[in-house]
Chains A and B, each alone.
Chain A
Amino acid sequence: MADLQIPGIELEYAFSISMVFNERIDFVGPRGGKGYVPPASGTVSGPRLNGRVVPYSGADYAIFKDLSQGIKVNTHYMLETDDGAWIYINNRGYLNRSPDPQNPGQTKLYFRMSPYFEAPNGPHEWLSRTVIIGTGERRSNPDRSEFTYYVVK
């Protein structure tokens, strides 16, 4: 029988990403539901990374069965750091719907994510070999998503 001792896990806040959207496109085809949501703009801020989301550098190409119940997120786009580095991000995870504890009878959408990065050799290369997990929320006025990312140490 395997060892039943459960090791701990340590997280450290890394950065937040806020993204604004102008377009939300979704359709259902023979292979299921597909979303296309490109970022119109965005900012990256926090202790480990600062910069911007490059507008229209990619999109979320989500899949879903019933859009009202949530989606499987799969984004591809580019970030540009304050020091001029370009970084590819593939943000994977889920947008789920669950009861809203603050508004009884209502539901709310929330993101659970694990992004993977490819960064050039240099000060940001740690992103290319670090597991990062995050949470996020949809907001309106303007239409945007706010993500909070933690490094898994």
Chain B
Amino acid sequence: MAQADIPVIELEYAFSIRINTGDSVFFQGPMRSRSYEPVAGGEIFGPRLQGRVVAGSGADFASNGMLDAHFMLQAADGTWIYVNQLGYEHAAEGEPYFRVTPYFDTPTGPHDWLGKTVFVGTGIRGVEPDHILYTYYALL
């Protein structure tokens, strides 16, 4: 198939989320590994969404190298937003970095586009306090 036939894909910067992380737990089980990295709070900023990450609302429960985070956001207007984020942390060499896709459940209303849009995110770890800074792009 010629490259010219391939539909173009368009991404648009949507918002960023800084997730403060708590102390993590990791273990290896008979079938799979499991890690637990709790969400300790954070901030949402950018053109399409502002608000906070709800402290203690969830965690990343990664298994065998695949992220599976569940937690809550609260938009600046008070709307509650559930997040389930899948993806990978690449930590084999150099600075670790993330590639993720978050899925959102939101109430019907001004933020319900989050529940009908595919996003892709990049992330890097930071300190003081320990956090992951994610940058999210909407797939238009």
Please report A residues at the B interface, Cβ cutoff 8 Å. 1-4, 6-7, 9, 11, 13, 16, 45-46, 70, 92-94, 96, 112-114, 116, 128-131, 133-135, 148, 150, 152
B1 touches A45 (CB 8 A): yes
**From A3, A6, A16, A135, contact of B1 by CB (8 A):** A16
B101 touches A148 (CB 8 A): no
- A-B contact number at CB 8 A: 73
B117 touches A112 (CB 8 A): yes
A-B pairs, 7 with minimum CB distance: A131-B99, A112-B118, A114-B101, A148-B7, A112-B139, A2-B18, A129-B88
**From A3, A131, A150, contact of B88 by CB (8 A):** A131
A2 touches B7 (CB 8 A): no
Q: Is B86 an interface residue (CB 8 A)?
A: yes
Contact residues in B for A129 (Cβ distance below 8 Å)? 65, 88, 90
**From A11, A92, A96, contact of B116 by CB (8 A):** A96
B133 touches A150 (CB 8 A): no
Q: Is B25 an interface residue (CB 8 A)?
A: no
Binds A, one of B9-17, B33-41, B54-62, B72-80: B9-17
Q: Is B87 an interface residue (CB 8 A)?
A: yes
* Assembly CA distance A3 to B46 (angstroms): 11
